[in-house]
Amino acid sequence: MAKDKAEVVTTKKAKDAKGFDQYEALQDMSDEDLMSQFQAGTVEAFNILVERYSDRLMQYLYRFLGDMKRCEDLLQETFLRVHRNRHSYRRIAKFSTWLYTIAGNLARSEYRKRKRRRMQSIQSVNRDNEEYEMEIPDESFSPDKHAESTIQDHYIQEAMNEIPPAFREVVVLRDIQQLAYDEIAEITGLPMGTVKSRINRGRTKLQALLKDVYPFEEE
């Protein structure tokens, strides 16, 4: 009886060790190889991709939209779509490009919805059918009130919110996410020249908005 119990324990340890080795092997794989593994049914490969990209995607979505709670929802939706549409992915594309395209489409759609809601709310009608302006509450997330945020982050996000979304997205992808120009062009569907032009114009606008902040930081 004791022998049988010892054999069960030994077998369990062997299985655990094998599982650990397999997970370690997955950790060393490229994104594209992990997607191939996931398409073949290895759920752990998907979990590793989520671990690799959650923070980066959250930063991207937040810098674009400035609303932490909504960005958390969009992050989950992004990975849900990756899971649901995993068999539509082809290795001819970088996984990161495919992933950011999904997240970018969701972010742009959210921005358009928010813009429509705000435009519809700017004016309302009273009982006499007379139009009057209604004050719109600021729904943007304030980084300085967040436990892990800093004053610097607050000013950067405020400046991000001030520049047009077309410039904001490409600046975030280039300067924060550090993606290549050709990858940004593929994600946004824009010509390379337009991508570079928007990045330069976005940087110029940000520098103008932050010109009074950085001297203070240097002191």
What are 99-144's pLDDT values in tens digits? Answer: 999 999 998 888 887 666 544 433 333 444 443 333 333 444 343 3
Give SS3 for 123: strand
pLDDT of residue 23: 80
The Cα–Cα gap between 208 and 135 comes to 28
> Which residue ranges form the domains of the chain, and what is each CATH number?
22-113 (1.10.1740.10), 142-210 (1.10.10.10)
Which residue type, as a one-letter code, is found at position 113?
A: K
Which residue type, as a one-letter code, is found at position 90?
A: R
Radius of gyration, alpha carbons of the chain:
23
Q: Are 121 and 134 in contact (CB under 8 A)?
A: yes
Q: How confident is the model at residue 177 (pLDDT cuts 50, 70, 90)?
A: confident
The Cα–Cα gap between 141 and 145 comes to 8
Task: Write phi, then psi, for 172 (nearest 5 degrees).
Answer: -65, -45
Q: How confident is the model at residue 152 (pLDDT cuts 50, 70, 90)?
A: low
pLDDT of residue 63: 87
Mean pLDDT of all residues in 152-162: 78
- Tens-place pLDDT, residues 44-56: 999 999 999 999 9
Q: What letter would DSSP give residue 210?
A: T
Q: Which of 194, 210, 199, 66 is nearest to 140 (CA)?
A: 66
Q: Could you tell me which residues come within 8 angstroms of residue 62 by beta carbon, excluding any fewer than 6 positions away?
A: 68, 71, 141, 157
* Residue 168 vs residue 6, higher pLDDT: 168
Instruction: State the average pLDDT for the chain.
Output: 77
Where would I find the H helices in the chain? 2-27, 31-39, 43-65, 68-84, 95-122, 151-162, 165-171, 181-188, 192-209, 214-218
Query: Any bridge partners for residue 132, and if so which?
Result: 124
